[in-house]
Structure formats: structure tokens, C-alpha cells
Amino acid sequence: MAIVPNCARPGNGWPASRDVIRGRIPVGLLVLGLAISPPTTSADPTDETPPAGQRDPDDAAGRAAIAAKDWNAAIRSFSSAALRDTRNADIQNYLAYAYRHLGQMDLAFKHYRRALELDPRHRGAHEYAGEAYLMVNDLPKAEEHLAALEKICLIPCEEYEDLKKAIADYRRRAAR
């Protein structure tokens, strides 16, 4: 009988040797490498908003108008920005927000839909669309947006909490 080291005998030897052969160790090292790799610069992979200095001037003017609650100026600025940047969900969301504040709900819903077509995971558009649906007494549609936010926000997020509170307030008022 030949002398064979334990690790060369079938069913014996260092248990990890079978794991290396089966690929378990390389996969484990890959997972470990991903776990300790440095984070990316943005926690939100869909956040593509350029810094203020690189933003379209009409986009910047629209944001300033929103902050000043000058809804008509916001609509003018964001409408111009939207002509140049047709794939920007943020611009569509801001347009909807301004129209909503003017009570022009059909236009608000049109732009919320467009924002969500461009970015189905746009948390702000889901929150504000849900709030807009409450304004027109459509609780089921508001709840659809809350459910979408629940799926999008794996950890608690402000948009989910705000819409959840708005729905609770709506229900309290409706119960009176």
C-alpha cells in the first residue's frame, strides 16, 4: 500500500481544499472584497443632478423661483429647460410641482407621469404625485404611490414618511 497524504485521499484532507475546487473560496473572497470596498461618491445611483455651477441656467432659475414660491416664473424657466433636456425627470417633477401649486392639476399629473416614465424610482415624483391625488380626493392613487415608495425605499426615506403622514391626515379629515 502506498503512503498517500490525508489531503489526497478521497473524502479526507483539509475541508477547505474541496471548497477551493468547488469555487466557494473565490466567491467568498469576492463578497468580502465588495463588502470592504470604498463607497461610491453618491449614495443614490440615480442621482445625476449636476453641481449648481454646471446646471442649465433655466433649471437654476426655476429652482430659485420654486424656493421663492413664484410658480409662474418656475413654470417658464423649467419649460425652457425641458426643451433642451427632454430626459430630465427632475425638471418634469418641478414643473408638476409648480402646476400643482397653481391648482392646474391636469398639467401637474401630466408632468408627474412624464417624470415617472423617465425615472420610475423618482422618490420626489412619487411623493408629490401622491399628495396631488389627495388634493383631488383620489386616495387609492395616493396609496399606489405610497406602495411604490415602500418598495423603492429599502430603509426609511423622507418621501415615504411625508406621503404616509399626508395620507393619515387625509383619512382623519375624511372621518370627521
How many distinct structural domains can be found in the chain? Answer: 2
Nearest to 87 by CA among 54, 46, 42, 53: 46
Residues 92 and 129 both lie in one domain: no
Q: How confident is the model at residue 52, as a pLDDT?
A: 55
Dist CA 94 CA 168 (whole Å): 25
Look at residue 107 and tell me if it is in a domain.
yes
Tell me if 148 sits within 8 A of 133, measured CB to CB. Answer: no
**151 grid coordinates:** 418598495
Tell me if 135 sits within 8 A of 105, measured CB to CB. Answer: yes
Look at residue 170 and tell me if it is in a domain.
yes
Written as tens digits, the pLDDT of the chain (176 aa) is 555 444 444 444 444 444 444 455 444 444 444 344 443 333 333 345 566 557 899 999 999 999 999 999 999 999 999 999 999 999 999 999 999 999 999 999 999 999 999 999 999 999 999 999 999 999 999 999 999 999 999 998 999 999 999 999 999 999 98
Domain residues for the domain of 150 are 123-176
